[in-house]
Amino acid sequence: MFSPEVTVPTSIASRNLKRRQRNGSEDSVALRHNPKRLRRSGLAADTFEPPTSKTNGHVEQPHYIPYANGHSANGSSQRDAASDTASLAIRNRGPRKTERERRGSKSEGTVLTKNEFYVVSQLRTTPDRFQTHQSQGKVSVSWSLDPSDNVAERWRGEIYNNLGYALATTQEHAVVWRYTQGVNIAEPLKPLTIKLLHPSINARQPLPLGILVPTSGEPSLLVVMPTSGKITYWESLSSAASLDSSRQRQQCVQGVVSGMMSGEIITKIIEGEPNGFIITFSSGRVAHMTIGDPQWKTVIAVRFLQSGKAQSMGLFGGLKNVFSSTAWRRDIAAVRAGFSAHRGHRQLVVATSKAEFQVWDLNWNGSQSLLCEIDGRADILKALVEGGDVFRDRHDHHFEVLDFVFSPIDIESKEPIMHAGKGDCQLWVLTALHGKESSQYNLLGLTLTAGSLTVKVVHPISCYKSPLPSDTQFKPQVLVPEKGFAAFVAFEKSVVLVSLIEVEQSPSSQLKLEAHTLPDPFQDSIEYNKIKPYRNLACAAETADGANSSSCILMVYGFGLIRFLARPMQKDQSAVDRATVTAATKIEQAVFFGNLPQDLLDFSGRSEISFSQDQVERAAEDVSDSILKGVSDYIPREMPSVEAQLQRRAVALGDLIRHLRQRHGSLGRSTKWRLLWDAEKMAAANKMWRTYQSVQASAPKKDPNYKNFLAEVVETCSEEHKLENKPEKYETDGVRHYFINDIWRLELLLPYTEIAIREMLDENAELDIEADFTTHARYISEAMDYQSAALDTAFSFREINLRAYDLADEPTMDGVLLQGYDGLDEPWTSSGHVPAGVKALTERALKFLDDPEGSGESNGEALAKIKKSCPRQLQLFNRTHIEQFRWFRAHSDKAYRDAGKNLQDGYFEARKQQFKDFAHLGCGPEAIKLAEIYEDMEALVELMDIRRKEALGLRGEVVSSESALQECNEEIVSYFTKYGIHWADAYFSYHIGEKAASKVLEQSPMYQKALTAFLRRKPQYTKLRWINEVTAEGNYLAAAESLQLIQDKQTKLWSKKIELSMTKLALLAATQQTQVKEDEAKKAISQINHRASILSIQEELYDYMRHQLRSALDADAEVEVVMLAYKDISGHQHCVHDLIRHNATRLVNREILDPEELIDMLIYMDVQGFGDEDEFNDHHFFLALQVLRHLDLQKSDPARYDLLEAMIWRRCYVQDDWENMNRTENKTEPETIAESEGSILFLTIKQLLANDLLPLTTSHAPIPSPSSCLHPGTDLPSLRTSSRYASYPDNELAALASDLQHESRILSTSIEKGRLEDLYQGVVEQAKTSLKDDRDQELKMRGEREAKRKEKGKGGGMANGAGK
């Protein structure tokens, strides 16, 4: 940002005016040695060195070197001149101080804000009365001279950096104090109060103008009354401070500014020559005032500056000038006295608001001459358009020059100005373009040479664009300290810092320039509190004291003096590196300085300096991280109290989130969680440290065997997880070192609290040393305390501060997020090995309590403490594990989600076991309470069962108790109401799992409603459900529904037949009880009948094969026997063969086949050579069609029905040799008829007709034709039409289609060569005729039997009659 290489110009001409020496008068001696007057004036006897002597009534003038912008050509010379007033207003001066001590340090005072670019501090030497503000009506007022006076006065301030003094004037008084005085003083500062000689009667008149003048001794004081023009000059402050009014008048020189016009007032007075001053008037006129004439007499003379043009106008021209204001009236922006290369001369530059510049040469004797006059408006506006960020339409905006200063170094080369021609100068000019709602300010570096103006550089001020208030009491001023690498622009309630170092030329900067990414030189602004009436009154650039920094002093109304110090750029930095104010810098300033008691600065930020949401969030995380890690520059890394240091970091994190919410609104969700996690980690570390201190306070001091447990934990912690302390640098306290440097990774330390115990036991085992019980118990107890201090504090902090971090809508329980982990980092409280470490310590504690070997009565207290800590430890176990598996299960990566499921399952098992283990330690009520908190119903059921058994006396160590049993039962009943179905599911599932199903059905009537709901909710318990519905509820319809559910899952043939029958009975009973409509019952019963019929067909198939299975040795052999009936398909239809084998396995195991699987088993049978052919030969296709009919698919799934029907008839058609049957040339008619009636087609159709499954009266064939059965199922699209094959893979389906194509080819041959398409209708008619003949024959036979029966009956009757 800034370059430290700039030096103070060394070529500035100095002038040493010769003055005659004089002896001090008696009056002055009396003033210095009068104790009473000293006490009344508040001055010590040696407050000032003796005033300069008088010779012939003339005051000797000091050797003097002129300075520009308040800078001495030799920084120390002016300070030496004023060194004798270093102890102004100090009663006991003490030993004489060195020059640096008198000057004061720039680091003194209270820091109001700082960063890598600058430091703003309040000077401690400011008197208290200047650090307060009051308000009275519409007039801004300040301090009162009389502490008992409640009425305050307006005041004007001036700062003299070359002297180290500040001056304040009111209507009646002038107050002087030395602001650079050190703070190690015996008494508080007492400013020197001087009563003015010509105070204004009207309090609303402009305040007097004062100026301190350096001399060889104490400063002189000049006071000018703005309206009357009266001038008072004291050669020393001691003379001015005299309380004797007559002596005060005697020791001053008085005069008046003659020639002032009506209404004209004096607005500014500056030092302009060793014995001269420059006065600026409201009319725009400028005058040169001198004190002393060529004869060395102290005489005040005032001469108005007039150009040669004005002087040549003559008498009448002069009169015309007087009465015509346009000739001289102008708006003066600034008047500055500069350098001169000639002895006795001083350069003066006058600038107007319209950018008109006049360069004057002033002579010490009072004469002056105009060197040049330049109108620079056009050149400046052109430069602004080319190099500045300005409004393009300048006609709608007002342009003005606000202020300027002389450049202390060459603007281009940055070197000291060695030579300057007469009238030549280099200036930094502050301009403004005022728009309707904002103003654009620019700082221009320009040169005035040979009557021309050249703009060298333009620095647009982008960080401040507020328009100037119409009622402003402070004109903007620009300050450029000696180093010349930075400029300060003071506005009424703001100060802007602008770097004057341009970006160095390089290939990189050239590329950025062309890409419009090259940043402007650094600039930033500090803002004053908008609520308080703070405002700037005066400012001055400070003279360099050897440091590379640049600074200025500002006098702030109601606050006092502040120093604004710009830090130099580091050696390894470039202007580009420090060109931009970062969001982190602004946030840090607000966090660390926004809550100071000194509320001067406002850190809410300006709209001109804005950052994107992403920049703010990343900066906030970086700032939070630096605080947590303890590497922030704003918090001391080492403090006597670690707790205080941790607390400061915690407070900073709290201030951070408050500032972010107030200034930047809503942050991203992940950022808010990261900030909250950092803050809770800091709170956890703080609690751990306090716990550690408590343990240390109670530790034995002289026990050589005592080990600091936390120190052991830190020592055990891996080097990768901590910053190793350095004993060679006397860093011997490992615990302290960890809390200062490593708490940001606290989650890595927590698992070592258990590991340290384990390693201690392992170490003892290796040394064959028995572990000391007391030490073991203490380690476990302290480890639990430290884990609780960290994690319990973190979860509690999180729960309490959700609203503070704008996370109030996040659903949490006990600090654990219930949902919404997606997009978040892994919470530190459950990251890494934290949950495992908590679990291991919990299990160690429970095991230790369960089997405390070596414990005695003396260790009872230690065991009691561990047992008392167990509920808290179990809660930590639950919190960390719940948070862990929830985060894993919400992850976008499936591997993480799977791991989360495993973590969850493992956690549930471990939690239940730990609750049970805790209950077995005699802590049943506590374990039950924990199970209730986490609503672990399974654990709660088992815990209540343990409690119930104890009440029944089933546990040997506990005596039965009726009251305890009743209380237990009542609590169990209450859980049904409290937890609802969750408790009911766990309760009944547990008891059913314990093989106590009968006890479940015999439960108390108070459970009945819950039991019924549970059984209806759980399909796996349908067998118990239908029993409960019949016996307890009397709901037969629900029982039928339960049985129906059982059937859907039943795989055994016999069982399903029984269940179908029971379902049918239940529906009949429900019909009688009017629990179901009769039509609905009939429909349901019909479906049951269809299912039962299909099962009967499977049973018939099995019965047919059963007699062949007797020879099989085992189940595999039985399958092979069954497959003999399907040998015909083994060589050509491999896929069908595999399906049949699978179904055969289930058939011999008496498992239920799907209806379509049963159809396959029937239609692919080859009964020839298998068992009794006549028994099943004419039956299996009829049974397959029966199964198809019972499926009732014609309406529900017609495509599936059509495919099944076509496949059945196709198999039926290919069973006979139609080609051979068609060759009738060598056959008789009876032989042909016999072949036809022996075909499977004929037998199947006849059975269908006999069972009324085919109509007898239709003229066309009631079955699918052979040609219609050729193609169904022979390709993938055809098979996909059936829902049966919807889930089949394409490769399996293609294999099946290939097998079915084999059948299609056989059928096609039968149609072509056996004329099947023509013959099948005749077979149908033949079957009808045969069935009709059979029925006629049966009727005839039935008639004959009836006739024989009747005849036999008649014969018997006659025989009986004869017998009688």
Q: What DSSP string runs through 774-812?
A: HHHHHHHHHHHHHHIIIIIHHHHHHHHTTTTTT-TTS-E
Tell me which residue of 239, 120, 230, 134 sits closest to 176, measured CA to CA. 239
Q: How far is it, in rounded angstroms, from Cα 541 to Cα 784?
A: 61
**The tokens of 932 are what?**
């209730």
**The tokens of 868 are what?**
């008392």
Helix (H, G, I), strand (E, B) or coil at 280: strand
Q: How far is it, in rounded angstroms, from Cα 98 to Cα 76?
A: 13
Beta-bridge partner residues of 111 = 121
pLDDT score at 502 = 73
Q: How far is it, in rounded angstroms, from Cα 442 to Cα 1231?
A: 125
Q: Are 930 and 875 in contact (CB under 8 A)?
A: yes
Tell me which residue of 67, 540, 64 sits closest to 346, measured CA to CA. 67
Q: Are 1334 and 1311 in contact (CB under 8 A)?
A: no
State the residue for tokens 């008649």.
1354
Helix (H, G, I), strand (E, B) or coil at 1076: coil
**The tokens of 796 are what?**
């509690």
358-to-451, 833, 972 alpha-carbon distances in Å: 9, 78, 101
- List the alpha helices (DSSP H) in 890-1005: 894-918, 924-933, 937-952, 962-979, 981-993, 997-1001
pLDDT along the chain (1364 residues), means of 10: 37 36 37 33 36 36 43 40 37 40 56 91 80 47 39 77 88 88 54 88 87 86 92 88 78 89 92 82 91 74 75 44 54 87 82 93 81 92 77 71 92 78 87 90 91 91 90 90 89 93 65 57 90 92 75 91 86 63 90 90 87 92 94 89 94 94 90 96 96 91 83 90 74 88 94 92 73 85 95 96 94 93 94 94 92 63 90 95 95 94 94 92 90 91 87 63 84 89 88 72 75 82 78 76 73 78 79 76 81 86 82 83 80 84 88 88 76 63 90 86 90 88 85 86 88 73 86 88 84 88 89 88 87 85 83 65 52
CA angle 801, 803, 807 (to 5 degrees): 100
Q: Are 264 and 44 in contact (CB under 8 A)?
A: no
Which DSSP letter does residue 171 get?
S
Tell me which residue of 654, 596, 588, 577 sits closest to 620, measured CA to CA. 588
By DSSP bridging, strand 523-528 and strand 494-499 are antiparallel
Tell me which residue of 705, 673, 639, 974 sits closest to 794, measured CA to CA. 673
What residues have CB less than 8 Å from 1264, skipping those under 6 apart? 1205, 1206, 1209
Q: Are 236 and 217 in contact (CB under 8 A)?
A: yes
Q: Are 667 and 620 in contact (CB under 8 A)?
A: yes
1288 phi/psi in degrees, rounded to 5: -70, 140
Q: Are 1269 and 1261 in contact (CB under 8 A)?
A: no
**The tokens of 151 are what?**
């009425």
pLDDT score at 945 = 87
**The tokens of 105 are what?**
């340090």
Q: How far is it, in rounded angstroms, from Cα 674 to Cα 694?
A: 30
Half-sphere exposure of 231 (CA within 13 A, CB side): 21
Q: Which helix H or strand E contains 1341, and what residues bound it?
A: helix 1316-1363
**The tokens of 131 are what?**
């650090």
By DSSP bridging, strand 276-281 and strand 286-291 are antiparallel
Tell me which residue of 381, 357, 379 sits closest to 451, measured CA to CA. 357
876-to-694, 828, 839, 841, 903 alpha-carbon distances in Å: 22, 14, 9, 11, 16
Q: How far is it, in rounded angstroms, from Cα 685 to Cα 679?
A: 10
Q: Which helix H or strand E contains 626, and what residues bound it?
A: helix 613-629
Q: Are 117 and 488 in contact (CB under 8 A)?
A: no
pLDDT score at 13 = 32
pLDDT score at 77 = 37
pLDDT score at 322 = 47
pTM for the structure as a whole: 0.72
pLDDT score at 506 = 60
Q: Which helix H or strand E contains 335, and what residues bound it?
A: strand 332-337
- Dihedral sign (CA 649, 654, 657, 661): negative
- Dihedral sign (CA 1249, 1253, 1258, 1259): negative
Q: How far is it, in rounded angstroms, from Cα 1275 to Cα 1298?
A: 8
CA angle 911, 917, 922 (to 5 degrees): 130
Q: Are 1051 and 1038 in contact (CB under 8 A)?
A: no
pLDDT score at 1090 = 83
Tell me which residue of 929, 945, 937 sits closest to 981, measured CA to CA. 937
- Dihedral sign (CA 1070, 1075, 1076, 1078): positive
Q: How far is it, in rounded angstroms, from Cα 1123 to Cα 1117?
A: 10
Burial of residue 856 (CB within 10 Å: 0-12, 13-18, 19+) is exposed
Give 291-329 as a DSSP string: ES-TT----EEEEE---HHHHTTHHHHHHHHHH-GGGT-
**The tokens of 480 are what?**
């450029």
CA 592 to chain CA mean position, Å = 21
Q: How far is it, in rounded angstroms, from Cα 1182 to Cα 1254?
A: 11
pLDDT score at 578 = 60
Starting from the edge strand earliest in sequence, which strands make up the sheet with 230-234, in order?
Answer: 209-213, 220-224, 230-234, 252-256
Amino acid, res. 1140: I
305-to-311, 369, 1247 alpha-carbon distances in Å: 10, 8, 140
Q: Are 134 and 142 in contact (CB under 8 A)?
A: yes
Q: How far is it, in rounded angstroms, from Cα 1296 to Cα 1279?
A: 9
Q: How far is it, in rounded angstroms, from Cα 1357 to Cα 1363?
A: 10
State the residue for tokens 């890409």.
515
